Amino acid sequence: MDRVQLQNDVFSYFNRLGDEIDWRALTTPIEVHLIAKTQYLFRQGECVDRWYFLHSGLVRYVSVSDEGKEFTQTLVKGPKIIGSTRSMVTTSPVLFGIQALEDSVITSYNWAEFYQQMRHDKVFLECYLLFLETIFIAKEERESTFVKDSAERRYLDFCVAYPELKDQIPQQYIASYIGITPVALSRIRQKLKLGHRP
């Protein structure tokens, strides 16, 4: 795995968001993580001070309630920025773990150093701002579906939004992503199947 190549992947992903960023200030070493399917990048409760980039593969953000129930907050397919803004910024334990659903190539920087070195670059700040806006907007839209829509509606929306994941990941993760149990999802699928017969 070529470290320099990976670093360039990160740069070009960022640059795609806007003008060219001047990366010369960045000297913090990049670290490479190869995470096999079902393995965790980090787990809920850890203090994560690194900034991650998923080059290839697929991960889910999973949080577990006190009663031991799993909830999939997000599904992310590379190449994308991943990790917990919250934990980095507030230096508090992450509210979710990140688990690979496919073998994944991930790199990371120490967030404090990364940010310290790049915060002087206006273009970088603008890009990062754009990124934050994007993930915020996604959360905002997702929030409303939980309150307004039925589980069936959420499942149908999921199938439209992630047609390729629909058959690629275990159904239980889809259920957990739309906030219901696998049993309930199975019931919904059954109902939909019947509905399609004329």
Partner DNA sequence: TTGTGGAATTAACCTAGGTTAATTCCATCG
Partner DNA sequence: CGATGGAATTAACCTAGGTTAATTCCACAA
Q: How many CB atoms lie within 10 A of CB 3?
A: 12
- Binding partner of 2, given a second copy, DNA, none, CB within 5-8 angstroms per partner class: none
Q: How far apart are CA 103 and CA 77, in angstroms?
A: 11
Q: What is the CA radius of gyration of the chain?
A: 19
Whole-angstrom distance, CA of residue 178 vs CA of residue 156: 10
Residue 56 binds to DNA (criterion: CB under 7 A): no
C-beta closer to a second copy: residue 73 or 172: 73
Q: From CA 151, how far away is CA 155, in angstroms rounded?
A: 6
Site map (CB under 7 A) of DNA, residues 134-163, x = contact: ----------------xxx-----------
91 touches DNA by CB under 7 A: no
Q: Using CA atoms, how far apart are residues 126 and 108, in angstroms rounded to an integer?
A: 20
Instruction: List interacting residues with a second copy (CB under 8 A).
Output: 63, 65, 69, 71, 73, 85-86, 89-90, 95, 119-120, 122, 125-126, 128-129, 132-133, 135-137, 139-144, 146-148, 179
Site residues, DNA (CB under 7 A) = 69, 150-152, 170-172, 179-190
